[in-house]
Amino acid sequence: MAIGTRIEELAARVGGKRELANLSGIHETQLYKYIKGANAPSISAAVALAGAAGASLDWLLLGRSSPDAASAAPLDDETYAFIPLYDARCSAGHGAWNERAKVLTNLAFTRYSLRKKGLKPDNLACLRNDGDSMVGLIEDDDTVMIDLSRDSLEGEGVYVILLDDHLYAKRLQRQFDGSVHIISENKAYNLMVVPKGLTDGLQIVGRVVWAGGWLI
């Protein structure tokens, strides 16, 4: 049985492909590619899929043992860090998301990969992106991981910012005159400028460090 077929079985367990995508934090389009065999899931994606459906990772990846998670050996905490995926969404109006949002699941990343990027697991959180303003870099419903400790502008990069009680993933760029440009990857969206005297009011939640691939 191919891994795509096993992923399809997981979808049936939780009520369909869309529900599996929602629970795992994996874009539905990507999920279909896994099922069709066009792409192979990474370890972190496989962990998210198995965890969302309560299935054994060993069974999902290799087809061995029982599909039930209870029969599988747990992942080694010394090898993997488990980063919470919250139900808050960028541009969904959640405001103080970390006070009200609930954890949907945990996504596994190797501790080695996090150390290599200078990241500490306790500072990390995952959210989903809403909308197409960052399309080309971050698609609608993609999962992004943010470093909450990097809550000030440290150089050009993609950050999650809080504007009018909404969370947005945007590229920030400091200008020579002291102003900050808020940039969307999708050129259909206008550039926003925060003047020099108002930059202290720019609320940065954290820097986006991963969105299906490393951004740092």
Whether 87 and 136 share a structural domain = yes
Whether 94 and 18 share a structural domain = no
Whether 86 and 176 share a structural domain = yes
Q: How many domains does the chain have?
A: 2
What pLDDT does 95 receive? 45
Lookup result for tokens 């405001």: 95
Least confident among 55-59, 68-72, 116-120: 68-72
List the domain range (segments joined by +) for residue 57: 3-71
Whether 147 and 188 share a structural domain = yes
> What value does the mean pLDDT take over residues 21-46?
85
Rounded Cα gap, residues 110 and 45, in angstroms: 12
211 three-class SS: coil
Rounded Cα gap, residues 100 and 8, in angstroms: 32
Rounded to two decimals, the pTM is 0.69
Rounded Cα gap, residues 114 and 120, in angstroms: 7
Whether 62 and 98 share a structural domain = no
Q: How confident is the model at residue 57 (pLDDT cuts 50, 70, 90)?
A: confident
Each residue's pLDDT tens digit, 175-212: 999 999 999 999 999 999 999 988 888 889 999 998 87
CATH number assigned to the domain comprising residue 173: 2.10.109.10
